[in-house]
Chain A
Amino acid sequence: MPEQIRRKDRGKIEDFLDIGNSAVLGAVEIDPEKCTGCAYCVKACAANALEIHDRKCRMVVELPLCISCGDCVAICPEGSISLTRFLKYLGFFRYIDRGATGPPRKF
């Protein structure tokens, strides 16, 4: 999957993201060793970006509209999912003033 979806990619199914000019979609990584295929993450996903294939969870191949909400990470009983990329809009709807990512910090 391309990191960025740009205007010049017209004609592909990714076109719909062209509305905001372009976007970087979120992504999760699933550890196939730990995954038991319980499908809790599939049910919890807000964007229908996960599916069960061959008794293992994976991201939808065609176009996972992941919004990097982290619900799958939190619900996974085995702790096999980790967020690897965060949703970022570019163009008109671009996210501004964002910093690094991390879990809640202690001050």
Chain B
Amino acid sequence: MNVHFTKLTASREKRRRAAAFQNAGAFVMAPALREASWTAPALWRFGIVFLALIFAGNIFAADVVADFSAANKFYAEGKFADAANAYEKILQTGAQSPALLFNDANAEFKSGHLGKAIAAYRQAEQLAPRDAELRANLAFVRNQVQGASARERFWQNWLGTLTLNEGAILTAVLFWLTFGLFAARQVRPALAPKLKGVTRIFVALTLGSAIVLGVQTANYFSSATAVVTADNVTARSGPFDDAQNAFTARDGAELSILDRREGWVQVADGAGKSGWLPAKQVAVVPGA
């Protein structure tokens, strides 16, 4: 255990140095960017700083991989709480990947934290929505949760088969191709009759994907879910500690967020009951 903490501390130190290096690079680069003319020395300096940033990024990635392996080892040894802490520390550095969130969720579940596990699975699902193992584990953990939950509707599940970024990129590609066809028809008017059908298909695809992306974006930003991370949490009728009890939510319950106040979240469960929960007792997951 001590060895591990020493390792983590060393990793943190490396990351701190990398971050400091990055900051220093930005500091060095700024005057170069500010120079009115890109003289040869300025370009040379910029190139050095750019390479330094790439190098620092590689050091950072190497640290994360090492910490990830250490956390996996904890998990294999059955030290699930330690594993969850280790995964959480990696996530706190800002790094994330579907596998990292998946493993963190597994460790939280094995530690008995259903809510934290579901929140992590759902965050992983937003990065890798078609991961069958992830969906299987999420379904399994959800089955362990007692009480009413506000789950995604069919159309939200359908939208969730693509990440928001995947949807954005798909729509952008279709958009570019469509306008590329428009431009080609201007440059080569002779091709216009031949491109007519293809252009119509691309216009339709672009419009369709843009509509889906719009709905997906609205869902992402407006349909956030609060996952209860403590057991037997009492929702109150107002955002006050002494407000009347509205209902009780169990660990892992997924509740729709209706409103937010400082330190409080107004939620509704699947049975239509609503109330205010302390924000520290829930994990907020954006819409799918």
Say whether A and B bind each other.
no
